[in-house]
Amino acid sequence: MIQQTITQQHEIRAEVSLNLMVRAAWNFAYTALWAHNLFSSQEKERAQNAIRQYLLQCTDRERAYYCFCERVLLAREYVRQGNHRYIPLPSHWLDRNNPNGFAGTEAWLDQMLDRRSSLPLYRWEWKALAEAVLEMARDDSDKTFWYWKIYFLERGEGLLWELFLEIVANMQYGRA
Q: What is the mean pLDDT of residues 106-135?
A: 95
For residue 173, give the 3-state DSSP assignment: coil
What is the per-residue pLDDT for 1? 63
pLDDT tens readout for residues 39-92: 999 999 999 999 999 999 999 999 999 999 999 999 999 999 987 888 999 999
What is the per-residue pLDDT for 4? 63
End-to-end CA distance of the chain: 41
10 has a pLDDT exceeding 70: no
Instruction: Give every CB contact of residue 26 below 8 A, 6+ residues apart in sequence.
Output: 44, 47, 48, 51, 176
Of 50, 56, 57, 64, residue with least CA distance to 93: 50
Q: Cα(175)–Cα(45) distance, rounded to whole angstroms?
A: 12
Task: Give the predicted TM-score (pTM) of the model.
Answer: 0.90
**Burial degree of 57 (CB within 10 A; 0-12, 13-18, 19+):** exposed
What is the per-residue pLDDT for 9? 66
N residues, the chain? 176
What is the per-residue pLDDT for 160? 97
Q: What percentage of the chain carries pLDDT values higher than 90?
A: 83
| Lowest-confidence segment of 17-26, 95-104, 137-146, 166-175 by average pLDDT | 166-175
6 has a pLDDT exceeding 70: no
pLDDT tens readout for residues 24-52: 999 999 999 999 999 999 999 999 999 99
Contact 130, 70 (CB under 8 A): yes
Q: Rounded mean pLDDT of the chain?
A: 92
